Amino acid sequence: MNTVRASSRDRLLDAAAELFYSGGVHVGVQALCAAAGVSKRSMYQEFATKDELVAASLERSGPRYNALFLPEEADERTPRERILHVFERLEARSGSDRYRGCPFVSTAMELKDITHPASDVARRFKQQLTDFFEQQAGLAGAADPALLARQLTVVFDGAGARAVVSGKPLAGLALATATTLVDAATGGSSGETGRPRLSPG
Amino acid sequence: MNTVRASSRDRLLDAAAELFYSGGVHVGVQALCAAAGVSKRSMYQEFATKDELVAASLERSGPRYNALFLPEEADERTPRERILHVFERLEARSGSDRYRGCPFVSTAMELKDITHPASDVARRFKQQLTDFFEQQAGLAGAADPALLARQLTVVFDGAGARAVVSGKPLAGLALATATTLVDAATGGSSGETGRPRLSPG
DNA sequence: GCGAGCGTAAACCGATCGGTTTCTTCGGGC
DNA sequence: GCCCGAAGAAACCGATCGGTTTACGCTCGC
C-alpha cells in the first residue's frame, strides 16, 4: 500500500500544512497539488473534500508544531524552567519573517466556523499545550494550576498575534509576561529560582 | 455631495466592516455590494480596489470597536479600574456567539501580508489600545508602564483568540490574568484596591 | 417638458474556485 | 508478451472571483 517514497497522502498533507500556514486555508487545491507533486485526481481519492484535507493536514502537523515549543520529556530542569522554555522558543520563532502565528489559532480564526472539522483539531492541539502547562504548574506548586495553565495559553496566543500584527520581534515580551504570571501563581518573586514548592530541596 | 440618507460610501464601509468581520476578508465584492445596497459600479467609483475597501472599512469601524472596550473619558474610577474595565467588556463581548475575536488581529492574521494597507490600519488601532493601557499604567504607578501596556494587549488578544478557538466563554480568564499583571506591576496584591500610587489619598 | 447627470442592474471579461471525468502512461504479476 | 490497475495530465463542469462596461431609469435644474 505504501510506496517507497513518501506516499501521495503524506506529501499532500505536508504541502498542505506549509501552504495553508503561509497563505491561509484559502489556498487553492490546484496550487496545493502542484506543490505536493500529486494530481487532483489522486488528492480526491484520498480526501473527499478540501475541508477534510485541511483538517487532516492540521492533525498531521499539529504534533510537530507543539513539539517545537515543548521541552524534552525528561530533563533536569524545574517545572518553572520547563514552562518558560516554551516562551523562550516562542520568542525565537516569532522573530522569523515567516512566522504567521500559531497555526491552530490562525486556522480557527480564518475559518470562523466552530463546526468545521479543522476547528476541532485546532481546539484539541491547543488543549495539549494547556495540559502541559497545567501539569507543570501543578508540579511548580501553583495555587490554581488549571487557571495558570489557561493564562499561559492566553499569553502564548496573544504574543503570537502581536508578533503577526506588529511585524516586529517580541523582544522578551512573552517571556516576561509568562514569568510574571508563573511567579504570581507560585508565590515566587522575580529573583527566585522557581523551584517547585511540592518538592522542597 | 452627500445625499440625505447615508452615503453609498458609508453604507459600503459599514456593510464591509460587518461582513468582513463575520465572514473574513475573502467575502466577495458581489455579496458586499448586495448587502450595502450599492452597485459594483458605484463601489469601484469610490474605491479603486477591494483591498482599498478593506483598509477603509477597518479604518472606519476601528474607533467604534475600540470604543466598545475603553471607558468613558472622565469618570471617578482609578486607573486600575479603568484598565480592568477593558477586560470586563471583553469578557462580556466574547460570550456572544457572534464574537470572532479582535477584528484587527483577525484581519492581519488572515491577510498574512504586512504590506497590505489594512495591516497598517490594524497595527495603528492596536497601538491605540496599548497607548491607553500605557497611560493608565503610568497613572497607576506601574514600574514599567510601557511593558505592562504591551502585556495587557497580549492578554487582550490572547483571550480573544482563546474565545474563538474554544468556542466557550472566557469565564473570567481575561480579567483574572489582567488583574494579576496589573497588581504585579504596581506592587498591589489581590486584596488591594489598586488606587494609583502617584496620587495617594 | 426636457435634457443632463447620476446610480442602478446586469452583462461581460479572463481567471480561478472546488470538484469530476477522460485519456494516457507506466509498472508489475501472470 | 500481455494485461490490469494505479496514478498523472489535463480537459471539463458550474460557480464565483475582482474588475469593467453597457444600457436603462430616475431625479434633478431649468
Distance from CA of A126 to the nearest CA of B (A): 8
Grid coordinates 500559531 are at which residue?
A: A102
CB proximity list for A13: less than 8 A, separation 6 or greater: A53, A56, A57, A60, A61
Average pLDDT value for residue range A139-156: 97
- Per CATH, the number for A64-193 is 1.10.357.10
- Cα four-point dihedral sign A172, A177, A181, A184: positive
Can you give the pLDDT at residue A199? 39
CA of A48 to C1' of D2 (A): 35
CA of A52 to C1' of C22 (A): 25
Kindly determine whether residue B164 and residue A108, on different chains, have CB atoms separated by under 8 Å: yes
C-alpha grid cell, residue B160: 480573544
CATH class held by domain B2-47: mainly alpha
pTM over 0.95, yes/no: no
Give me the residues near strand D, CB below 7 A: A 3, 8, 37-42, 45; B 26-31, 39-41, 44, 49-51
Q: Which residue of A has its CA nearest to B168?
A: A114
Average pLDDT value for residue range A83-103: 96
Say if CB A185 and CB A83 are below 8 A apart: no
Distance CA A159, CA A170 (A): 7
Mean pLDDT by 10 residues, chain B (201 residues): 63 93 95 92 92 95 96 87 97 94 97 95 97 96 96 98 96 97 82 41 31
- Cα four-point dihedral sign B176, B182, B185, B190: negative
Distance CA A99, CA B66 (A): 26
Distance, C-alpha A132 to centroid of its chain: 12
Say whether residue A149 is in contact with chain B using an 8 A CB cutoff: no
Q: Is 70 exceeded by the pLDDT of residue A14?
A: yes
Distance CA A181, CA A175 (A): 10
Distance from CA of B87 to the nearest CA of A (A): 13
Q: Tell me the domain boundaries of chain A.
A: 2-47, 64-193
Amino acid in position A172: G
Can you give the pLDDT at residue B198? 38
Residue A168 — very low, low, confident or very high, per pLDDT cuts 50/70/90? very high
Can you give the pLDDT at residue A123? 97
Distance CA B105, CA A163 (A): 10
Q: Which residues of A touch B154 (CB under 8 A)?
A: 155, 158-159, 161-162, 173-174, 177
Can you give the pLDDT at residue B190? 45
Can you give the pLDDT at residue B9? 86
Distance from CA of B38 to the nearest CA of A (A): 26
CA of A9 to C1' of D14 (A): 28
